[in-house]
Amino acid sequence: MASARAPRLDEVAIVAGVSPATVSRFLNNPGVVAAATGERIRAAILETGYLPNLNAGALASSRSKLISVLVPEISQSIFNDTVEAMIEELSADGNSVMLSLTGPRNQLLEQQINAALSRRVDAIVLTGIVTDRDMRLRLRAQNVTVVETWGLPEEPIDVAIGFSHHAVGHETARFVRGRGYRRPHLVVPRSPRAQERAAGFVEDWATDSEEPPTSVSVAVPSHFGQGRFAFRGLADLPKMPDVVICGSDWIAQGLIVEAQAAGIRIPDQLAVVGFGNLRLAGDMRPTITSIDIDGRHIARETIRVLRRRALREPIPEPLIDVHFRIIARESA
């Protein structure tokens, strides 16, 4: 028996009461048509069972509408909320997002970059740092937009959309000093960005105090158990700190739980500051003071860059600072 004929785009247009060109524009970029028109087109696609030929659209426009987002991991990852917001925003703009894991130490980064390039993606969004010089040169030579996020390197591969980790350290030092804390302790993951934040904190702290903060380094990726380990290590310090600056909210959560189990009142006897403003930061009791990174802002800037590239317009500023903010909650 012959198979049923696949619905055509012009049939969708008739059902929706619009022109085929309007349907085509909606499929390529939903944001260019009015919201009510878009709803009629969506309803018509469902009614007719139409499946757009994305390969044909990619050939016609030289765009695949496929975005590769590379993250080290998704288990207890500091990037989760940002990446979720980014995927939601990119998808709403008509893109398909390919999420790939590069490993906690980015050991699979080159492999996943090669996989993305072989699929002719429009853009590669990086959260990890590409340190290999040859790979950076190779990416610059490709006809693909490369967006480095969560940092502002001095020489981006293509475009960097992020914030200064050094500035985070400075602002955190000013915040805890303004709250009256005088004996800070840093729990620093062994990653370049976390160490950059720690360096900014120490640098700013030295401007108003002769006694440098104490610190301990922990492995990456960050996890709950490191906070418990870090709290137990406080007993070995010359002086008990009055505030602990943690490299992630996961570490902060573990430290708070361990401190409370030991009868320490947070923040009366010990204040805690996290990083990343994960959902758990607002769900904990006490809630965790943290550094918030606006993932949706990163996504919107990424979309803006992609749209300019599609129109072959120059990107006037390759370093786009989305800034950050300190969310003051109960823990500090």
Q: Which domains are present in the chain?
A: 1-44 (no CATH), 64-163+294-322 (3.40.50.2300), 165-292 (3.40.50.2300)
User: What is the residue whose two structure tokens read 């570490």?
Assistant: 251
What pLDDT does residue 55 have? 52
pLDDT at 289: 98
**Confidence (pTM):** 0.78
CA distance 257 to 266: 10
Hey, what are 287's tokens? 């809630």
- For the chain, how big is the Rg over CA atoms in Å? 24
Q: What strands, in cross-sheet order, belong to the sheet with 159-162?
A: 96-101, 66-71, 123-126, 145-149, 159-162, 319-321
pLDDT at 135: 87
Q: How many CB atoms lie within 10 A of CB 217?
A: 14
**Stretches in the chain below the pLDDT threshold 70:** 1-5, 52-63, 76
Instruction: State both tokens at 188.
Output: 């620093």
HSE-up of residue 286 (Cα within 13 Å, Cβ side):
23
Query: What percent of the chain has pLDDT above 90?
Result: 58
Q: Are 234 and 216 contacting, i.e. CB atoms less than 8 angstroms apart?
A: no
Output the six-digit token pair for 42. Answer: 């969506």
| φ, ψ for residue 317, nearest 5 deg | -135, 110
pLDDT (tens digit per residue) in 242-293: 999 999 999 999 999 999 999 999 999 999 999 999 999 999 999 999 999 9
Q: Provide the 10 A C-beta neighbour count for residue 114.
A: 12
Instruction: State the CB neighbour count (10 A cutoff) for residue 138.
Output: 16
Q: 151-167, pLDDT tens digit by residue?
A: 999 899 999 999 999 99
Q: Which of 85, 93, 90 is nearest to 67 (CA)?
A: 90
Can you list the pairs that 149-157 forms with residues at least 24 positions away whose Cβ atoms lie under 8 Å? 149/82, 149/125, 149/298, 149/302, 150/79, 150/82, 150/193, 150/293, 151/193, 152/319, 152/321, 153/129, 156/318, 156/319, 157/130
Here the tokens at position 53 are 């030929």
Query: Which of helix, strand or coil describes residue 146?
Result: strand
13 and 19 Cβ atoms separated by less than 8 Å: yes
